[in-house]
Amino acid sequence: MEKTLQELAAFLHGTLEHASDLKITGVNGLVEAGPTEISFAVQPYVEVCGKSRAGAMILAYGEGELRDRPVLRVENPREAFAALLELFRPREEVERVLSPLAYIADDAKVGRNVAVMPFAVIDSGAEVGDNTVIYPYTYVGRHVKVGTDCILYPHVTIRENCVVGNRDILQSGCVIGGDGFGFVTTKGKHNKVLQTGNVVLGDDVEVGCNTCIDRATVDSTIVGNGTKLDNLVHLGHNDVIGENNLFVALVGIPGSVHIGNNNTFGGQSATVGHIKIGSNNTFAGRCGVIGDVGDGQILAGFPSMPHMEWLRQQSKLRKISEISKSMRELKKQVAELQAQLEAARGGEGQ
């Protein structure tokens, strides 16, 4: 595929600077891009993007100045880059057929233009919406509802009675609706509490590889529209997660946590259970949240604290060895001064 810069400018609704007759053959990263490819840069890389071999560059309006190559100005370079990836590297089409090697229960309902690949299972009472793709070895449990335009990659498990929204993407190995971690301990023995609820995923949700979302003890564990979960994330039973949240890898949220909208949880961050977290917060990697959190905060550390306070604390911690060495030297000097003072007093007494 080849596209002129003018065609790309129209496609991205952008403005072209230093136009040329260069034909663009692909899109790539700053380091990898070649002379016939286009790349993009955002801060803090705008100042060094001129070192890239890319034949053209995508920049935001008002950021950076390049005179040695064409520049496409757009509102959001990341979004433009994503659109060009779809244009130059479209996803492989999947044949929309129901494989005879798949198991589809007689009372299951499968919509139009659906692909069910070999060895997938759609159990009794399940419903699958139009245009959904189900890869091999995926299990859609009894009375599960899957919306339209979804992608269920290999080895996805959706347990009984769970609900998957529209345009959801479930990556390989994720489990939707496994039992919540509920036990009653009596005389030292842990007795299982039946987990009778389900999981409800909103629209445009993505669940990463080997991520687990536990079914509720009663009612529903809920993940709101547009929320994205990375690989190896765990959401406990009865969690209620709002819209457009980001959970980076290895985040752990125990049971009965209520989280608002537009929060970002860095890698390996976690909370205690039974707390409420507001909206528009950022939790740095390995942050440990042990109490309720309001809105619009940036927290880090364990226990979590304002990010700037944590940075100051870490700066001081790194100086501990230096401070300790200085203290030892001061103690040595004080001891020497005390010895000299005692010697002087002894001389005066003679």
Greater model confidence, 146 or 322: 146
- State yes or no: pLDDT of 211 exceeds 90: yes
- Range 263-284 average pLDDT: 98
Look up the pTM and report it: 0.88
pLDDT for 350: 59
Tokens 């935001």: give the residue: 60
Give the separation between CA 189 and CA 121, rounded to whole angstroms: 36
Q: Which of 190, 234, 237, 274 is catalytic?
A: 237
Tokens 């299982």: give the residue: 192
pLDDT in tens, 63-76: 989 999 999 999 99
Give the separation between CA 267 and CA 283, rounded to whole angstroms: 9
Q: Is 237 a catalytic residue?
A: yes
pLDDT in tens, 157-181: 999 999 999 999 999 999 999 999 9
Greater model confidence, 350 or 276: 276
pLDDT for 313: 87
Using DSSP, state whether 29 is helix, strand or coil. Answer: coil
Burial (CB count within 10 angstroms: exposed 0-12, middle 13-18, buried 19+), residue 134: buried
Note whether 277 and 263 are within 8 A (CB): yes
pLDDT for 91: 86
Give the separation between CA 328 and CA 309, rounded to whole angstroms: 28
What percent of the chain has a predicted confidence (pLDDT) above 70? Answer: 99
